[in-house]
Amino acid sequence: MRVVSAAAFGSSRVFAVPDDPGRAARHRERNRHLARTDPGGCWLAVDEVSGMPVGAALSLRREGTWGLSTFVVLPEAQGRGVGRELLAAAMLYGRGCLRGIICGSRDPRAAATYRRAGFALHPAMRLTGPVDKARLPAPDGAVHEGSAKHRDLMDSVARRTRGGAHGPDHDQLLRDCALLVVDDLAGSGYCYLRPDGRVELLAATSRRLATRLLTAALLTLPDGTPAYVSGLTADQQWALDVGLTAGLDIANAGYICLRGMRPPAPYVPSGEFL
């Protein structure tokens, strides 16, 4: 699966990340997690002659929300209908779900495929670069370290922002990420932050709390660790404001593809758990 992904994306990645053993292990664990929770949504295309994999699609269902976690086809197999068959199989797994979400790349062929499948394409942005902590004001309220005891809070916030909780995905996220939580009279929210500086997932009941969480996440990064915040639609201006204040660079970064829902806000999606 990882070999197929690496060959399919290759130099087209919009954000290069060192291909270290820890990252490879994390991807294997993510694949195993989805194979356990959503075996009906995980598909592999195999060449009839060589028996080697040429494409893969991993999808998940969470409380009426379907998401496409991975969709890759080897370059030499593209244009032969492999991607179309993989996506059809993955979408069949989401039959009956009211909502759908895909964090799509800048590949125009993939974007056209998602649009033909009935998804609305929302251009996305990303923030990257070292954090200038001296420019960031302190969070405007308390932010706490989270743990598994906050699962009910997080699922409640996710239902409000994107229409469905992440449920079993918290098991994997808690293993891979640090967790920040806010919970006060103004509302609730949470943010998963990877050791490499990637904001994996953020959801809050208001823009103010989302701003507080993202600010705290950027301030907790070790000096020299670049930040990466992706999947930002036009509805996430609060995130752009935080990132620009912190000195991050802004750039175009593919599409958030949605069906049966508006862009979740305030929300930063996970490319893997959406």
Least confident of 38-47, 75-84, 256-265: 75-84
Model pLDDT, residue 265: 87
Confidence grade of residue 133 (pLDDT, cut at 50, 70, 90): very high
pLDDT tier at 26, thresholds 50, 70, 90:
confident
d(CA 242, CA 248): 9
Query: The whole model's pTM is what?
Result: 0.86
Res 21: pLDDT: 60
d(CA 25, CA 73): 21
The CATH number that domain 2-123 falls under is: 3.40.630.30
pLDDT at 24 over 90: no
Any bridge partners for residue 194, and if so which? none
Q: What is the mean pLDDT of the chain?
A: 88
Say yes or no to pLDDT of 169 above 80.
Answer: yes
* Cα→Cα distances 150→159, 167, 182, 217, 262, Å: 14, 12, 10, 17, 26
pLDDT digits (tens, 9 = 90+) for 44-93: 988 877 778 888 999 999 998 999 999 988 887 776 777 888 989 999 99
The yes-or-no answer to whether 2-123 and 127-255+263-268 have a common fold is yes
Q: Where are the domains of the chain?
A: 2-123, 127-255+263-268
Name the pairing type of β-strands 249-259 and 99-104.
Answer: antiparallel
Distances, alpha carbon 102 to alpha carbons 45, 90, 115, 141, 215, in Å: 20, 12, 11, 33, 26
Query: Over 50: is that where the pLDDT of 17 sits?
Result: no
Largest CA distance in the chain: 62
Provide mean pLDDT across the span 169-174: 94
- In CATH, the architecture of 127-255+263-268 is 3-Layer(aba) Sandwich (3.40)
- What's the whole-number mean pLDDT along residues 263-269? 92
pLDDT of residue 15: 35
What pLDDT score does 4 carry?
A: 52
The whole-number pLDDT of residue 51 equals 77
